[in-house]
Structure 1
């Protein structure tokens, strides 16, 4: 799994856009008591459900792989000249 230079910032951006997508689909906002791990899993599963990303094999569904999938998703959405991709 290749790490991106700004992976933490890309993950944060992916979660922001993922939550915006969830709200547009009619899902409520997650409150602040929800852990970061659970937020990643929630957005990952939502994007899989709406066929925005391909699901991981069940034996590979863990935190680091879900985070990596979200980072890959956001890198495809951002313009090539975006500051986080350089």
Structure 2
């Protein structure tokens, strides 16, 4: 798994966009007490269920892998002129 140059910023953006997507799909908003790791896992599983992200193999399913998948997803969603795209 090759890490993207600005993966941390892409994951942050993916979490923002993913939360909005989840709410539009009818899921309740995350509470303020929800950990970032739980948000990452929940958004990853939702995107896999909706076939927007290819699932990791079960034996390789871990938090860094899920974050990487979210970063790849948002990188593909962003327009070409977005500042996060230019850095990758």
TM over 0.5, yes or no? Answer: yes
Matched, 1:25 2:25: yes
Query: Aligned Cα RMSD in Å?
Result: 0.8
**Deviations, residues 55-86 of structure 1 (Å, cap 9, x unaligned):** 11000110000000000000100011210112
Please give the alpha-carbon distance, in whole angstroms, between the structure 2 residues aligned to 1:31 and 1:58: 28
Unaligned runs of 5+ in 2: none
| Alignment match, 1:42 | 42
Number of residue equivalences: 86
Off by >2 Å, runs of 4+ in structure 1? none
> Equivalent residue of 1:59, what SS?
helix
| Alignment match, 1:82 | 82
1:54-73 counterparts in 2 under 5 A? 54-73=54-73
Please give the alpha-carbon distance, in whole angstroms, between the structure 2 residues aligned to 1:3 and 1:15: 18
Please give the alpha-carbon distance, in whole angstroms, between the structure 1 residues aligned to 2:4 and 2:51: 23
Provide the TM-score with structure 2 as the length reference.
0.93
Deviation, 1:8, is: 1.0
Provide the TM-score with structure 1 as the length reference.
0.95
